[in-house]
Amino acid sequence: MDTYDVLVIGGGPGGYVAAIRAAQLGFSVACVDAYSRDGKPSLGGTCLNIGCIPSKALLDSSEKFELLSHEYADHGITVEGAKIDLAKMLGRKAGVVDKLTGGVAYLFKKNKIKSYHGYGKLTRQDGDGWVVQIGFEGQASSEVKAKHVIVATGSNPRSLPLASFGGNIVENSGALEFSEVPKRLGVIGAGVIGVELGSVWRRLGAQVTVLEALPGFLLPADPAVSKEALKQFQKQGLDFHFSVNITEVKDNGTSVSVTYTEKDQSVTAEFDKLIVSIGRVPNTFGLGGENVGLELDERGFVKIDAHYRTNLANVYAIGDVVGGAMLAHKAEDEGVAVAELIAGQAGHVNYDVIPWVIYTSPEIAWAGLTEQAAKDRGLNVKTGQFPFSANGRALGHGDPRGFVKVVADANTDKVLGVHMVGPNVSELIAEAVTLMEFGGSAEDLGRTVHAHPTLSEAVKEAAMGVGKMAIHL
Ligand code: FAD
Ligand code: NAI
């Protein structure tokens, strides 16, 4: 039986990063992953195959089409007869995915990590190690042994009890693969996937209706940010309905009818395709946790302590399957931390400054506490806000929507949170995260020289605004 120091179950951002870091630290490492794309093993998990990467590739392609069709005229550029070749667009996206998933396979080889394809099932403890069965249901399997096991089996889309996935009712992977642009697209859930994929298909020509159970929109974001984002999305034509209760979903083969109540009225809407994006659930399928007594919480997440240890000796868990922010970069950083902890080092993730980014237009990004969350903790806060409409670079780009808001402790000036909506804020947030990681103050940020003219000057000015020192406002 092949024996390793560390076996990682799951080859997504949590698992593959844990494997690489463990190999760097001198362990013998293997990773078992079950995912197949077009019938072939494909490392990288949800993120690289059917999540972060393909969705961003389509967001970029569709945004280029939108800019060409509607925005470039303001720059004095008109293009007659712009057309979409959807097959080519999807092919480009697949090419990006191939490059990155192949890149993970290359990194495994480079770091001498043995890669297995199949489900990794915990079976028993044998001496100082765990025996894990590898294979697919109904097919021949093999066994490997490892002293330490890291579970990184990720998550799956949550389905509506009223409507299982299939046919015209799709989850994220189906929503990345429509062979033609649906004329009428329904989206259930105005969360991150709803607004990102809703934006893709709207830009390509779909009429998009978003049905959301809650009265609010992107609730974890600062309310000023979500209010601005909602205003912009509605202006683009996304049709939001809040506080709805879905009562029936029927796939008629050629279309889907969705019945919901809104303001006490029952409404039935007809869509060509329906995306259900109502959150994700932990995935422990095929892991064999029940055979060995792996403890899960009441929602099915693997229970861990502060060092990613499960209730089983030398079995750890990270990423989406343990809950918290279901984000690739959170899973990756947990992968690094758990490998270092296994090596006796002080691996650590600072959960207070995990950035969130939503890749719509305008983009949305934040890290740290909102103004309200800081007040709820009894902190005395002061804020600074700067609009992109007063930023030279944003005006030059032709995209002066949105603002940057900095929340700081009124007593110490320490930056507690930074919230942005506007152009390229997915990149601007990194500066705020670094500053918060070092416990920096608003004045530190405001007195740091930023190149002119750049969008980053809006971050500096918002920070200066905390001390009432903004120059261009
Ligand atoms: P996963 O990526 O889910 O990987 C788990 C892997 O384990 C899978 O390959 C699975 O097949 C395998 N597996 C499961 N069980 C077993 C088993 N028993 N044996 C062997 N293998 C097994 N996050 C961001 O940060 N930024 C984004 O822009 C972003 N966009 C997203 C867009 C979409 C449409 C979706 C759906 C998600 C997006 N996410 C994004 C979230 C991100 O994809 C996840 O947070 C991330 O993939 C979690 O990583 P993970 O390693 O925990 O699990
Ligand atoms: P989400 O949690 O972001 O949003 C789900 C939405 O569905 C919520 O607004 C919720 O109130 C609503 N909802 C739940 N049940 C409903 C019902 N019965 N009827 C109507 N609405 C209902 O989940 P989503 O969009 O599925 O994304 C899952 C996760 O994937 C995200 O939370 C995030 O962790 C990750 N992701 C991250 C991205 C990024 O970082 N840019 C992009 C896409 C996904």
pLDDT tens per residue, range 30-61:
999 999 999 999 999 999 999 999 999 999 99
- Residue 198 is assigned to a structural domain of this protein: yes
Neighbouring CB atoms inside 10 A of 257's CB total 15
Q: Are residues 232 and 96 in the same domain?
A: no
**CA within 13 Å, CB half, 60:** 12
- Residue 164 is assigned to a structural domain of this protein: no
- Give the pLDDT of residue 70: 87
Q: Which long-range contacts (CB under 8 A, 24 or more apart) does 326-333 make?
A: 326/155, 326/280, 327/354, 327/356, 328/12, 328/13, 328/47, 328/51, 328/52, 329/13, 329/354, 329/355, 330/354, 331/12, 331/13, 331/14, 331/17, 331/47, 331/152, 331/154, 332/13, 332/14, 332/17
Question: What is the CATH classification number for the domain harbouring 454?
Answer: 3.30.390.30
Query: Under DSSP, is residue 280 helix (H, G, I), strand (E, B) or coil?
Result: strand
- Residue 163, pLDDT > 90, answer no
- Residue 162 is assigned to a structural domain of this protein: no
Which of 4-8, 125-129, 447-451 comes out lowest in average pLDDT? 125-129
Distance from residue 157's CA to the centre of ligand 2 (Å): 9
d(CA 79, CA 371) in angstroms, rounded, equals 44
- Mutating to test ligand 1, I would choose from 153, 197, 294, 366 the residue with most ligand atoms within 8 A of its C-beta, which is 153
- Residue 120 is assigned to a structural domain of this protein: yes
Q: Are residues 147 and 251 in the same domain?
A: no
Last residue of a domain, one of 349, 364, 391: 349
* Residue of the CA atom closest to atom 2 of ligand 2: 279
Residue with tokens 């947990």: 334
- Residue 250, pLDDT > 90, answer yes
- Give the pLDDT of residue 276: 98
d(CA 397, CA 76) in angstroms, rounded, equals 13
Q: Are strands 184-188 and 273-276 parallel, antiparallel or unpaired?
A: parallel
Question: What is the CATH classification number for the domain harbouring 325?
Answer: 3.50.50.60
Distance from residue 358's CA to the centre of ligand 1 (Å): 17
Mean pLDDT score, 354-373: 98
CB 222 within 8 Å of CB 366: yes
Using the atom order of ligand 2, give the atom closest to the CA of residue 193. Answer: 25
Q: Are residues 189 and 269 in the same domain?
A: yes
- Mutating to test ligand 2, I would choose from 193, 196, 199, 233 the residue with most ligand atoms within 8 A of its C-beta, which is 193
Last residue of a domain, one of 349, 375, 406: 349
Q: Is 10 in the pocket of ligand 1 (CB under 6 A)?
A: yes
CB 199 within 8 Å of CB 361: yes
Q: Are residues 292 and 146 in the same domain?
A: yes
Mean pLDDT score, 21-29: 98
Distance from residue 252's CA to the centre of ligand 1 (Å): 31
Query: Would you place residue 181 in the very low, low, confident or very high pLDDT band (cuts 50, 70, 90)?
Result: very high
- Residue 473 is assigned to a structural domain of this protein: no
- Mutating to test ligand 1, I would choose from 48, 49, 52 the residue with most ligand atoms within 8 A of its C-beta, which is 52
Q: Is 176 in the pocket of ligand 1 (CB under 6 A)?
A: no
Query: Under DSSP, is residue 110 helix (H, G, I), strand (E, B) or coil?
Result: helix
- Residue 34 is assigned to a structural domain of this protein: yes
Q: Are residues 294 and 224 in the same domain?
A: no
Q: Are residues 137 and 17 in the same domain?
A: yes
d(CA 332, CA 73) in angstroms, rounded, equals 41
| DSSP one-letter string for 327-340 | -HHHHHHHHHHHHH
Q: Are residues 228 and 369 in the same domain?
A: no
Q: Are residues 143 and 86 in the same domain?
A: yes
Q: Are residues 244 and 371 in the same domain?
A: no
- Give the pLDDT of residue 418: 98
- Give the pLDDT of residue 402: 98
Neighbouring CB atoms inside 10 A of 184's CB total 16
- Written as six digits, the tokens of 438 are 């070092």
| Residue at 373: amino acid letter | A
Residues sharing a CB contact under 8 Å with residue 361, sequence separation 6 or more, in sequence order? 63, 66, 199, 232, 236
| Given the residues 70, 348, 452, 472, the one annotated as active site | 452
d(CA 73, CA 96) in angstroms, rounded, equals 30
**Backbone angles phi and psi of 422, in degrees to 5:** 155, -170
Among residues 422, 393, 426, 430, the alpha carbon closest in space to that of 405 is found at 422
Cis bond upstream, residue 453 (ω within 30) = yes
- Written as six digits, the tokens of 4 are 């390793």
Q: Are residues 232 and 259 in the same domain?
A: yes
Q: Residue 403, Cα to own-chain centre: how many angstroms?
A: 22
**Residue 115: domain span:** 2-157+281-349
Query: Would you place residue 217 in the very low, low, confident or very high pLDDT band (cuts 50, 70, 90)?
Result: confident
pLDDT, tens only, 73-91: 999 999 888 999 999 999 9
CA-to-CA separations, 364 to 2, 198, 337, 391, 402, in angstroms, rounded: 47, 15, 28, 17, 9
pLDDT, tens only, 119-158: 999 999 999 899 999 999 989 899 999 999 999 999 999 9
Radius of gyration of the chain (CA): 24
Q: Are residues 314 and 232 in the same domain?
A: no
Taken in order 99, 96, 328, 462, the sign of the CA dihedral is positive
Last residue of a domain, one of 255, 278, 301: 278
- Residue 263 is assigned to a structural domain of this protein: yes
| DSSP one-letter string for 155-179 | EEEPPBTTB-SBTTEE-HHHHT--S
Among residues 407, 297, 302, 305, the alpha carbon closest in space to that of 352 is found at 407
d(CA 380, CA 413) in angstroms, rounded, equals 10
- Written as six digits, the tokens of 40 are 């072939």
Among residues 149, 204, 164, 178, the alpha carbon closest in space to that of 6 is found at 149
**Backbone angles phi and psi of 258, in degrees to 5:** -120, 125
Instruction: Please confirm, yes or no, whether 450 is among the known catalytic residues.
Output: no
Among residues 99, 80, 142, the alpha carbon closest in space to that of 117 is found at 142
* Domain count across the chain: 3
Q: Are residues 184 and 233 in the same domain?
A: yes
Q: Which ligand has an atom closest to residue 213 CA?
A: 2
Q: Which ligand has an atom closest to residue 158 CA?
A: 2
Q: Residue 308, Cα to own-chain centre: how many angstroms?
A: 21
- Give the pLDDT of residue 105: 98
CA-to-CA separations, 27 to 8, 148, 318, in angstroms, rounded: 12, 10, 18
- Give the pLDDT of residue 381: 98
Distance from residue 49's CA to the centre of ligand 1 (Å): 9
